[in-house]
A and B are shown apart, each in its own frame.
Chain A
Amino acid sequence: DGGITQSPKYLFRKEGQNVTLSCEQNLNHDAMYWYRQDPGQGLRLIYYSQIVNDFQKGDIAEGYSVSREKKESFPLTVTSAQKNPTAFYLCASSTLAGGLETQYFGPGTRLLVL
């Protein structure tokens, strides 16, 4: 059963704490993405990776970090430098076929600050 999974579904962060959101895909896709979604603001790109051991900053990378050590995995760390982390985080993966990019999303992780 192919797909993209995110865990946990809900995550609570204390002041000054780093937290890591998990994203795994078994679709054999080369590219993976992290988005943040806030009410009324749509999807905003945090980081993306087109290949293992390489990643690029998106539009709102400050306060976040990622790694891409395996093709299947793209974890996102929300650091204490991110002052407003409460949001819905979505991971996506894609493969480029014929110059066309279609993204497949995970179920999302909702991060809340205690």
Chain B
Amino acid sequence: SQKIEQNSEALNIQEGKTATLTCNYTNYSPAYLQWYRQDPGRGPVFLLLIRENEKEKRKERLKVTFDTTLKQSLFHITASQPADSATYLCALGAGNNRKLIWGLGTSLAVNP
């Protein structure tokens, strides 16, 4: 069956460092992959989307890579800030299928 795995343990880093979160998947050929941010008690918010034929995407301090051979995406936050502390979810999509496949999320804590 289709499966997505994200860092199961919470990630704690020091302010100013780069946070790197991992999303691995099996038994799936996504057309695109997305990253969302979720704060406690709130709905997820879309951050970035990367297509299967793209290697890297950037938006301000965020960078996403997508390796369809390794079946892996890496999500980087450079110059991290305490305000970046949240849970980050990855989601896979394919073509006209309206359902996304969601990972469980990785909790990130940026310490001042």
Contacts and interface: CB of A to CB of B under 8 A. Distances in A.
Contacts of A48: 98-99
Contacts of A2: none
Contact of A101 (B51, B89, B93, B104): B93
B46 A104 contact: yes
Nearest to B97: A101
A102 B104 contact: no
Given A100-B32, A100-B49, A102-B34, A45 B99 contact: yes
User: Which range contains the number of B residues in contact with the other chain?
Assistant: 20 to 34
Contacts of B41: 88, 108, 110
Provide the main secondary structure of the chain B interface.
loop
B85 to A, nearest CB: 18
Contacts of A21: none
Interface residues of A, number: 25
Interface in A37-55: 40-43, 45, 48, 50
A105 interface: yes
Interface of A: 31, 40-43, 45, 48, 50, 58, 88, 90, 92, 94, 96, 99-108, 110
Interface of B: 31-32, 34, 41-46, 49, 51, 89, 91, 93, 95-100, 102-105
